[in-house]
Chains A and B, each alone.
Chain A
Amino acid sequence: MLKTFASLLPYLRRYAWWYFAGLACLLLTNAGQIQFPQWLKQAVNAIASGHPEVTQISSLMVGMAATALVIALGRVGWRVFIIGAARRIEKELRQDLVDHLLSMPASWFAGQRIGDLMARATNDIEAVRMAIGMVLVALTDAVTISGAILVFLLIQDPLLGLIIVSPLPVITVLIVVFGGKVGVLFKKVQEEYSSLSTFAQENLAGSRVVKAFVQEASVDARFRRANEAYLDANMELVKLWGFFFPIISALSGLSALFLLYWGGQDVMSGKLSPGDFTAYLSYLGMLIWPLMGAGMVVNWLQRGAASLLRLREVLDTKPTIVAEGDLPRPKNFDLEFRNLSFAYSSEGPTVLSNLNFRIPQGQFVGVLGRVGSGKTTLAALLPRTFDPPAGTVFLGGQDIRNYRLDDLRSCFSVVPQSTFLFSDTIRNNIAFARPETPDDRLRVLAELSTISRDIEALSQGWETEVGERGITLSGGQKQRLSLSRALNVDAPILLLDDALSAVDLDTEEKIIDHLKATRLGKTNLLISHRVATLRHCDVVLVLDKGRIVDFGTHAELMAREGFYAETARLQHVEFVVGGSP
């Protein structure tokens, strides 16, 4: 465990003085707390003696006030320093984690679940914070307060001290033992909650299907079951947790009872003064928190260590795209594939094999192929979303791996196959790559993808929020928005990865026309299943099982009886076979 926490040393070192100052304040507070019952003892003894003196009582009062003030100031101090340091380290840790995540490549994200990463950035970091903040406080309290009180009680009267303190260590044991069990049950509650929430979310998203198939009653029943599971998990937790505090207060009551019974007999015999009795009573009350804290320290440290390990797991994974070159953006944008073969992992199947092709700058190139033929992979290799082998993909005559990554990526505008929009306004989504884009330019971009007509129809227009907090766009609208966003970069090479699949033919036609008119001299790479679209390209590559099986213009490919012509026939059977009407 020590080794795990050692990785926090660089952070802790930066705040060493904060921790020292906090610790000093804490010790001051604890000293004051231990002193306070002593004033009470003297006061009670003075009163019990039957003739208290005003001067004595007055000086006692001054002492009490001074002690109370010291305690208060110390408390303010340790909260400011220790909690302050823990919060600051928490922030730095979170920032480092997010910085690291942002630099991780797509290949790494493919194996991660977003929910799990979120948990690391939230719950795990919080667990680490508890370990570097409250642990110190609880540990110090446990050692100083309970140590001092135990020493005091045992020195005064060992036997009596042992008797009255005996119920209290059970508190520590209870917390250590049940803490873990409670953690497990709590996790179960959270899981049930998240499955309940997922169910609600999914069925609201699919409400159309639920209605269409008249499944309301069945959804009701299943949702009720999810709720019952959540209730049961909660009640399991309550059965354990609900006992916890009642037992703790019972134990502390028990120790006060022992004091009354056995300590009382000592008072009768004169071994103990009434003031001592009062001080004992106060001390017993003061012991509860440090003993609870001691138990919690164990849990906090365990949880903190586990969480830290989960954080390190992410932070210690190096980004795989490390071979970044130092070339700036090239002057010409000819693309070339030389003997390109690619597999996602060394054991995995070959996705692309031995591709050789040149795309001169300014060409409009189409790609056709079955699902799984490697089209998307091809597009993903260009901006190094996935890394091609060295010496296979060239841009402007240089291996793309020789460019600085940012410069390389700035050469491409990408419209990916699955559209991701941010829950933000339409304006901000289109302006994503260049937030300062002026309005008239945004309007032009919206017209290029024809999303402008949809924006005009919305009552809030450009300021309409999309996504979870806003309206739900249709598949075609999302794709066109995503296209406008990509065009805002206006990069030398545009990659459209089956990115107009949900747009109707008519609109797609218009978009292609717009692209042709506005992107003169720039390269466009269009992956599509539609021959009606591909026929506008200068040249079409036909991919099959990771190989280029054919290429040529629409007319050339139609003339050869290959996959392209076959696809065309299937898509417009009557027309191709039956001729014009």
Chain B
Amino acid sequence: MSEEIRGLDLKILSRLMGTLKPYRWQVVTSVVALGMGALSELAVPLLLQNGIDKGLLAHDLAHLTLVSAGILASIVVTMMTSFYQVYMLSKISQSVMLDLRTSLMARFQRQSSAWLLSHPQGRLVSAVTSDVSTLSEFFNTLFTSLLKDFVMMGGVVVALFVLHPLLAFWTVVTLPPVFVLVLLFGSWNRKANRRVRAQVSRVNAFLSEHLQGIGVVQLFGRQKAARATFSQENTELLAANLAERTINAVFRPLIDVLWAVSLGFLVWFGTQLFLHPDSSGTLTVGVLIAFITLVSRFYNPVASLAENFTALQSAMAGAERVFHFLETEVMVPDRGHLALGEAPHANIEFREVRFRYLPEEPVLQGLTFKVLEGQTVALVGTTGAGKTTITSLLTRLWDIDSGAILFGGNDLRDYQLSSLRGGIQSVLQDVFLFSGTVFDNIDLGRGLPRGRIEEVCRQVQAHGFIQALPLGYDTLLNEGATNLSSGQRQLVSFARVLAQDPKVLILDEATANIDTETEGMIQQALQVLLKDRTSLVIAHRLSTIRKADRILVLDRGIIAQSGTHEELLAQGGLYADVYKLQFESSSD
């Protein structure tokens, strides 16, 4: 809320208007409809005056009938135009939202992982959802409320002068106080409203979080504290609501008082004019009635004027965030033109690679190694040694600071990003599945034939349990795939990768959480995945490490040792130490 924009920022305003470009003809026709609607609405009091003075008081039934027909026509025109205008403007603002949402999402997806990690996910989601929604509010407020209100209020003033300039002058003199009131209460109301909204979101955040974490709250015996905190938030919400109510409770009746004051003035000066007729013409009863009607129309939109300005301003703040995100450059440039399939071989080479996530914390410090086509290389090392980083660099989730990473003798950056990522696949410990069917999660929108998917699942031993699910491959997975066990999730992720048949496989071996039976299945499935494929494995299991063609021991961003299991044990050093610590004592 701190980002509220003061006044109207012209740059954002012009960008906002720019989003209307594809719909400019619809905008023009709806604005025309709006104008026509306002004119026909204003025509009614004028016709009324005419009907009263020239028909009713002149005892001319024919004229009265004619005027009545005119009013009927303007009622119909008003109704049609306002429906057209509401419909078209909704359509336009909805379309603009669709455009912005899809391009924002497309933009976010193509940002580097570094960028995505440095922006809290909640903010990105709210940019796509609620910030864009405020834009539709912007257009609705601007066109259906503000523009229309101003046209009407201006129209009323013009109509007054057309009817009777002198009386109009004295009537209009009474109007300015209302704007002072609007400005004054507008800013109070804005503050009160901001306080309410902020507090509503605090209460909701508190609730949703404590309901999700109810288990933790209860286990730690924090119900009383939670109750007390909620009571505070809830009381503050009441206070905010009551403060807003008080402002409204005073503001709206005050406007009504001013309206009555204007009417009083009108009657008073009307009488004066009647008693002292002058050059500006006499006052008729019809004119007086028309004035009374018109002044009421003038006061109608005043009450909501302040609210509309507030809506406009918060919409601009939302728009600014949206445009900011749309302008952010995509940080992993995709300028390569090679396809991974064109590479002469599948060797991977790291040359003096340096990389850090944060300026003062180097992760890789001149890393050099080579993986030959078809080899399985195991990466071992302590937590934080940079193992996971290596896998992220290979798929260009991040770009390196210096040095080079080569695939098939070419720099990674020379490949098309899509081709690179399609050919170098990683299987992560933390399996992320989308809510959708099992089939969709393996197929990932490529439309592979059912038979192919089943074949792949059979190879990684996932077919059995998938078949046993209530709807087989069409079973819907929950958010977080909680209806599968972690072992089953792991197998689905294997199937997903195998369906891609990647040239290179990066595997972050699962450490635990899987019972022994599933473990056995996973080990077998892994053999299928690794067979004849250039693979880089972040290994935790001795069996995997020993089967590898070569072992790289990482320590603080460099290769400390490399060789086969036997060679490394014979060498002594870090590997032998870690090995002894972890595995030897289990024979006690």
Tell me the number of A-to-B contacts counted with CB atoms below 8 Å: 431
Taking CB atoms, residues of chain B closer than 8 Å to A346 are none
Taking CB atoms, residues of chain B closer than 8 Å to A416 are 215-216, 219
Contact digits for B211-226, partner A, Cβ 8 Å, 1 yes 0 no: 1111111111111011
Taking CB atoms, residues of chain A closer than 8 Å to B230 are 95, 98
Query: Are the C-beta atoms of A47 and B246 separated by less than 8 Å?
Result: no
Query: Are the C-beta atoms of B516 and A204 separated by less than 8 Å?
Result: no
Binds A, one of B153-161, B455-463, B468-476, B537-545: B537-545
Of the residues B226, B254, B270, B285, contact of A72 by C-beta under 8 Å: B254
- In this assembly, does A362 line the interface, its C-beta being within 8 Å of a C-beta of chain B? no
Question: B residues 116-153 with Cβ under 8 Å of A?
Answer: 116-117, 120-125, 128-129
Contact digits for A39-76, partner B, Cβ 8 Å, 1 yes 0 no: 01001101110101010010011001101110111011
Of the residues B67, B208, B283, B513, contact of A260 by C-beta under 8 Å: B67
Question: B residues 495-528 with Cβ under 8 Å of A?
Answer: 496, 500, 511-520
Q: Within the assembled complex, what's the spacing in Å between the Cα atoms of A267 and B108?
A: 70
Question: A residues 451-504 with Cβ under 8 Å of B?
Answer: 453, 457, 459, 465, 468-472, 474-476, 485, 489, 498, 501-504
Query: Are the C-beta atoms of B517 and A370 separated by less than 8 Å?
Result: yes
Query: Are the C-beta atoms of B213 and A61 separated by less than 8 Å?
Result: no
Query: Are the C-beta atoms of A433 and B221 separated by less than 8 Å?
Result: yes
Taking CB atoms, residues of chain A closer than 8 Å to B98 are 224, 227-228, 230-231
Taking CB atoms, residues of chain A closer than 8 Å to B542 are 572-575
- In this assembly, does B95 line the interface, its C-beta being within 8 Å of a C-beta of chain A? yes
Take A204-B125, A370-B517, A555-B588 as given contacts and tell me if A507 and B429 are in contact as well, using a CB distance cutoff of 8 Å. Answer: no
Take A91-B237, A246-B86 as given contacts and tell me if A502 and B511 are in contact as well, using a CB distance cutoff of 8 Å. Answer: yes
Q: Within the assembled complex, what's the spacing in Å between the Cα atoms of A222 and B435?
A: 13
Q: Least Cβ distance of A555 to chain B in Å?
A: 6
Take A71-B253, A102-B217, A207-B109 as given contacts and tell me if A532 and B582 are in contact as well, using a CB distance cutoff of 8 Å. Answer: yes
Binds A, one of B256-264, B318-326, B347-355, B401-409: B256-264
Q: Within the assembled complex, what's the spacing in Å between the Cα atoms of A581 and B61?
A: 118
Please report the total number of A residues contacting B with Cβ < 8 Å: 167
Taking CB atoms, residues of chain B closer than 8 Å to A532 are 582-583, 586
Take A64-B263, A79-B249, A281-B289 as given contacts and tell me if A501 and B83 are in contact as well, using a CB distance cutoff of 8 Å. Answer: no
Nearest residue (CB) in A for B384 is A453
- In this assembly, does B382 line the interface, its C-beta being within 8 Å of a C-beta of chain A? yes
In addition to A75-B249, A102-B217, A505-B540, 12 A-B residue pairs with Cβ atoms within 8 Å of each other are A40-B267, A57-B271, A211-B109, A223-B102, A235-B91, A257-B68, A264-B51, A420-B216, A432-B216, A472-B117, A574-B543, A574-B546
Taking CB atoms, residues of chain A closer than 8 Å to B225 are 435
Taking CB atoms, residues of chain A closer than 8 Å to B516 are 370, 529, 563, 566-567, 570-571
Query: Are the C-beta atoms of B361 and A43 separated by less than 8 Å?
Result: no
Taking CB atoms, residues of chain B closer than 8 Å to A282 are 292
Query: Are the C-beta atoms of B543 and A385 separated by less than 8 Å?
Result: no
Q: Least Cβ distance of A367 to chain B in Å?
A: 13
Q: Within the assembled complex, what's the spacing in Å between the Cα atoms of A43 and B108?
A: 67
Query: Are the C-beta atoms of B292 and A278 separated by less than 8 Å?
Result: yes
- In this assembly, does A193 line the interface, its C-beta being within 8 Å of a C-beta of chain B? yes
Q: Least Cβ distance of B471 to chain A in Å?
A: 20
Binds B, one of A247-255, A290-298, A301-309, A392-400: A247-255
Query: Are the C-beta atoms of A206 and B432 separated by less than 8 Å?
Result: yes
Q: Least Cβ distance of A95 to chain B in Å?
A: 5
- In this assembly, does B428 line the interface, its C-beta being within 8 Å of a C-beta of chain A? yes
Query: Are the C-beta atoms of B289 and A278 separated by less than 8 Å?
Result: yes
Query: Are the C-beta atoms of B113 and A208 separated by less than 8 Å?
Result: yes
22 A-B residue pairs with Cβ-Cβ distance under 8 Å, sorted by A, are A44-B288, A61-B264, A72-B256, A83-B249, A109-B214, A200-B124, A204-B125, A208-B428, A209-B432, A230-B94, A242-B90, A246-B78, A249-B78, A250-B78, A253-B75, A264-B55, A274-B57, A371-B515, A432-B216, A433-B220, A501-B512, A502-B511
